[in-house]
Amino acid sequence: MSASLERKLGQILAKADIEIDGNRSWDIKVNERRFFRRFLSEGSLGLGESYMDGWWDCDDLEGMIFRIIHSNLVAELDVRKRPSLAWFALQAKLMNMQSLARAFEVGIKHYDLGNDLFKAMLDKRMVYTCAYWKEADNLDDAQLAKLDLVCKKLGLKSGQRILDIGCGWGGLLKHAAEEYGASGVGVTVSKEQAEYAREVCKGLPIEIRLADYRTVDEKFDHIASICMIESVGYKNLRTYMEVVRRCLKGDGLFLLQAIGMNTAQTEGDPWFNKYIFPNAMNPSPAQLTKAFEGLLVLEDWHCFADDYYRTVMAWHQNFIEHWPHLKDKYGERFFRMWHYYLQAGAAGFHGRLTVLWQIVLSVRGFPEGYVSIR
């Protein structure tokens, strides 16, 4: 049976120029013959879990997954409608997977893993979102450029107050206070992020709250939300935009940085949801525009997915470089999981399965016009 399954999978992967037990860097090296059934029956979940279990290896994971994406094999290998994974899709439709009661799950499972891991992987400001590489040649400078780009697009001025929805470890608010003379509030669902952000922002007019975005009800000159909307869920996108509208002053701007999909989804990838980002779902352009229609005015839409590919590859390089200092705490299975996560994430941006947007929205629009900044 495994021989016929191997032939079937081999025929599929050949469309992406991937060989089983081939000698090129992006070819799959199979260590356990049960891999074929697992991948064919469980799709991305089976592929990721079997890699974590050591059932297969690949010298260039990003290159292999990129070829699957670029050859349009994702749909062919998508098995979420099969009985074994039917509940995953069904619960996303029947339940609000990103309800207020579930809001802190991603903080506990992902962002609270350990600041030592993220310090080793990220830039010196601990910014865990896409950097801006237009004029930068290293991760620190690229993240600084992104923080400054956000402030410039908002037209941030001294004395203004900013809300950061999903503030992470406080990098944007710290930059806004130190370089632009702003004050602000940051909300996060991660205890570790909140404690760290309070420490790095000590002495600045910054308040960090361990809270869900839905609990914020006060006015701000501007609002930013950098790659947090992926945890909002399609059922809550309108509510999210309503929170922005009620908290944004009439002459203020909202900058949304989002990881998106080209087509609308109602659930995320099964492996990423189980092991990396619980309850995550990347929105499509149509889902976002429907969510803010009638509430906010679109001023600017900026796409730079190549920058996220480069950012994730820089994170991966840092992770590999610092792994010897982390391995005793996290272990080999975590290494394979995190390696797979970063390489698959980079491949998604490389192949445009996922994209990256910065969107600027206003309350009523600007009669004098909004000047796009790049």
Which residues 6+ apart lie within 8 Å of 75 measured at CB? none
Asked whether the beta carbons of 197 and 167 are under 8 A apart, the reply is: yes
- Residues 162 and 144: their CA atoms lie apart, in Å, by 18
Residue at token pair 């944007």: 172
- Residues 244 and 66: their CA atoms lie apart, in Å, by 36
Domains of the chain: 2-79 (no CATH), 100-362 (3.40.50.150)
Q: Is 72 exposed, middle or buried (0-12, 13-18, 19+ CB in 10 A)?
A: exposed
The tokens of 124 are what?
Answer: 């010196």
* C-alpha angle 196-307-58 in degrees, rounded to nearest 5: 90
- Residues 261 and 286: their CA atoms lie apart, in Å, by 10
In the chain, where do the E strands start and end?
29-30, 56-57, 161-165, 183-188, 206-210, 220-226, 248-261, 297-303, 354-362
User: The dihedral of CA 22, 2, 52, 48: what is its sign?
Assistant: positive
Residue 45 CA, distance from chain mean position: 18
Pairing of strands 297-303, 354-362: antiparallel
Q: What pLDDT is stored for residue 1 in this prediction?
A: 57
pLDDT tens series, the chain, 374 aa: 578 999 999 999 999 999 999 999 999 999 999 999 999 988 889 999 999 999 999 999 999 999 999 999 887 776 545 555 555 565 666 566 666 767 788 999 999 999 999 999 999 999 999 999 999 999 999 999 999 999 999 999 999 999 999 999 999 999 999 999 999 999 999 999 999 999 999 999 999 999 999 999 999 999 999 999 999 999 999 999 999 999 999 999 999 999 999 999 887 899 999 999 999 999 999 999 999 999 999 999 999 999 999 999 999 999 999 999 999 999 999 999 999 999 999 999 999 999 999 999 999 998 788 999 99
Q: What are φ and ψ of residue 200, in 5° steps?
A: -70, -20
Q: What pLDDT is stored for residue 267 in this prediction?
A: 79
